[in-house]
Every structure is written in C-alpha cells, then in structure tokens.
Amino acid sequence: MPRGLARDHAEKRDALRRGAAAHFATHGYDRASMASVAAACGVSKALIYHYYDSKEALLYDLLHEHLSRLAHVIEEAGQHGTPRERLRDTIRAILLEYEDADDAHKVQLETLDTLPPDRRDPLVKLMRGMVDRLGERLEAASADGLGGARRAVTMSVFGMLNWYYTWNRPGRGMDRAAYADLVTDLVLGGLTGLVQRT
C-alpha cells in the first residue's frame, strides 16, 4: 500500500520552489543542476527527487505556482469602486504580489521559452488571462475605450511594472505602493491623452 503524503508535504514543496527560484535567478537555470538546487535548499538530492523527477519538472512547478498566484491576485483585485479606482487597485496588487516573488519573476522572464510546448502552453494561457483582465480594467477606465491600442497599452503597463523589478534598488526611491500609484497616474493621464489624439 502506498505511503500517504507527509503533513508538511506542501510546506516542503513550497520551500523547494522558493529555494530553486532563488538559485535559478542567481546562477541561471541552464547552469543549475538538481544537485546544486538541493545544496542551495539545504536538502539531499534524494529528497528533491522525491518531489520532482527532473529540473524541468521543478521549473514548471515553480512557474505554474508563481503565475497562478499572480493570476488569482489580478482576478480578485479591483472588485469595488469606480473603473479608475479598480484599475489603481489592480496595478497596486500586481506590484505588491511581485514583492515576495522577484526571483520567480526573473526566472519566468528568462526561462519560459526553454520549456517544451506541453509545459509552456498552460503557462502562456495563464499569462494571457492576466493580460486580458488588466486590459479589461484599462478599457473600463478609458472614457472612450482603447480600440486597437488595447494590447499595446496593456503590455506597456506590464513593462512599467517590470521596471520596478528590473531597475529599482531596495531602499532607494519609491516603495512599491508609491510606484504603483505613479504608474496608475501616468496611465490614467495617458489614457486621456490617447483618447484626445484619436
């Protein structure tokens, strides 16, 4: 009879995902091995293989967990208030969710295309859903809609949010919440200008 899952199975798996994300982000996914991930996580190679049969399976799991959490945050944010308030709430929620997931976010940006289609496609689907949700909120916040510019505007907002992760240094400049408000103010002002030009 197979042995059941240990009570701390989920916690150990989450710790492995976080440790692997930090290791991949620092040393590069291509250069990492299951042995080096195990060492970085402070566990045996046998233990990591108990949870994942390959480095690719580990990468997929950490990216799926990261993107699923972000998708849930975007879905739940911005449920109340005016369209502009809902947009502000959504942008802030995205940036704050990145706070504890910078390593996973870096790994996502650098490794998604290394996965085979059967593992990459579900992740891309999650990402497209996030783009759609933010696009809907941008559309609602724009007085006359975005028309054919919706995707470009949405991806530009994600680009601005990625700036904080890529270039901002901890302890310098704005905190995440203040930067989220700055992005929202830029976007709302830009939407007005975009409508006036069309």
In a domain, 107, yes or no: yes
**CB-CB contact of 192 with 166 (8 Å):** no
In a domain, 172, yes or no: yes
Residue 83, both tokens: 């369209």
In a domain, 178, yes or no: yes
pLDDT at 167: 80
In angstroms, the CA 191 to CA 193 distance is: 5
CATH of the domain at 63: 1.10.357.10
In a domain, 27, yes or no: no
* Inter-axis angle of helices 9-27 and 55-76, nearest 10: 100
In a domain, 4, yes or no: no
pLDDT at 193: 61
In a domain, 26, yes or no: no
- Domain that includes residue 180, residue range: 55-197
- pTM, rounded to two decimals: 0.85
**CB-CB contact of 141 with 192 (8 Å):** no
In a domain, 50, yes or no: no
Domain count, the chain: 1
pLDDT at 5: 44
pLDDT at 194: 58
pLDDT at 39: 96
| Residuewise pLDDT in 10s, the chain (198 residues) | 344 445 577 899 999 999 999 999 999 999 999 999 999 999 999 999 999 999 999 999 999 999 999 999 999 998 899 999 999 999 999 998 888 788 998 899 899 999 999 999 999 999 999 999 999 999 999 877 888 889 999 999 999 998 887 787 777 778 888 999 999 999 988 877 655 544
In a domain, 6, yes or no: no
In angstroms, the CA 144 to CA 82 distance is: 15
Task: For the chain, give the percent of residues with pLDDT over 90.
Answer: 68
Buried b (16+ CB within 10 A) or exposed e, 150-187: beebbebbeebbeebbeeeeeeeeeebeebbeebbeeb
**CB-CB contact of 198 with 147 (8 Å):** yes
pLDDT at 163: 86
pLDDT at 10: 87
